[in-house]
Each structure stands twice: as C-alpha cells, then as structure tokens.
C-alpha cells in the first residue's frame, strides 16, 4: 500500500505486529495497560462496542482505567473515552505524541517517570488532545508505542515530530 504515491505503508497485519512489539519493548503490559489480544473476550467486546472503528483496523493496545475511562491504540486510530465522551484521532493526522509536561512537572520529583499519567497527541492541524493513561510505565509505553504506530501509518520508520 502507498500513501502520496511515494511512501510504502506496511499491510495492516504487519503494522499491528510491529505496534505490539514496540509496546512490549517499551514497558508492555502492566496493571491497566495490555496487549488487546490478551484481554478476556467480554472486556474486548465492551471496549470495541464503545469505540468507532473501521472494519479493517486491528486494536493492538488497551489501557483500562475504568469502564468509563479507557484508551485504545489501533492500526488506524488512537481512541479514548473520558468524562467528556468518546474521542478518536486518525494516526494519519498525528504529528507527535509526547508526555504531558504539566503532568511531568507537577510531580515535583526526579522520579516523574513513575507518576506521569497523561500524554498529549498533536495533530498536523495543530490540535492537541490530552489523554489520561496509566501512571508511570503504562504512560511511557503508550507514548512510545503511539508515536511508532503513527510513524508506521505514515509509512516512515519513526514519526518526524517535535520530539
């Protein structure tokens, strides 16, 4: 598959495998962050029913904070639910994914990586979305994996953002 007639994009199944490998490499599974395939079927069905997914996309990573607060990383989107509703950003629209600096600095400690719990997704149009994640390792794994997933969707090895 090509994007803009010049960039090679991996087939969806290969992208899903690379996203899952990146997730495992950068911290992987923890208390609330899981490879989607490892979740019980009833949980997977509940999460998918709340998200707006394209038929061909594969859900790879799930962060479950509660029934009304979750994040899904798929081969096509970052989708999440919070107090204001369900949201989604296409990976093709993602410019960068970073740890939320206010979350980082509010900890007031050199151990911020253990406490940070928000990621900021910036789109090519300049919109920014703050997404609550699992604190610590779960957040760091999500940021790295989402950045990689966006890069794969764009057809590049790593996303070329502000990081």
- pLDDT tens string, the chain, 163 residues long: the values are 444 444 567 888 999 999 999 999 988 788 899 999 999 999 999 999 988 888 899 999 999 999 899 999 999 999 999 999 999 999 999 999 999 877 665 555 555 566 789 999 999 999 999 999 998 888 989 999 999 999 888 775 544 443 3
Residue 54 counted as domain residue: yes
How far is residue 132's CA from residue 160's CA, in Å, rounded to a whole number?
23
The token pair at 101 is 């600096």
Residue 63 counted as domain residue: yes
Residue 135 counted as domain residue: yes
pLDDT of residue 2: 43
Residue 34 counted as domain residue: yes
What CATH number corresponds to the domain at position 84? Answer: 2.30.29.30
Task: Find the domain containing 36 and state its range.
Answer: 7-154
Residue 89 counted as domain residue: yes
Residue 12 counted as domain residue: yes
Number of domains in the chain: 1
Handedness of CA 98, 103, 108, 112 (dihedral sign): negative
């Amino acid at each position: 598959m090509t994007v803009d007639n010049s960039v090679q994009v991996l087939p969806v199944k290969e992208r899903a495998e690379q996203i899952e490998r990146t997730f495992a490499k950068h911290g992987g599974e923890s208390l609330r962050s899981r490879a989607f395939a490892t979740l019980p079927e009833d949980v997977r069905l509940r999460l998918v029913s709340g998200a707006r997914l394209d038929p061909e996309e594969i859900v790879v990573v799930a962060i479950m904070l509660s029934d009304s607060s979750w994040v899904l990383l798929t081969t096509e989107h970052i989708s999440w639910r919070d107090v204001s509703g369900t949201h989604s950003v296409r990976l093709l629209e993602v410019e960068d994914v970073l740890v939320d600096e206010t979350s980082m600095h509010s900890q007031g400690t050199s151990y911020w990586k253990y406490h940070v719990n928000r990621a900021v997704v910036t789109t090519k149009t300049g919109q920014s979305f703050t997404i609550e994640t699992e604190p610590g390792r779960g957040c760091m794994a999500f940021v790295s994996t989402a950045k990689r997933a966006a890069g794969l969707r764009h057809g590049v090895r790593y996303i070329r953002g502000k990081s």
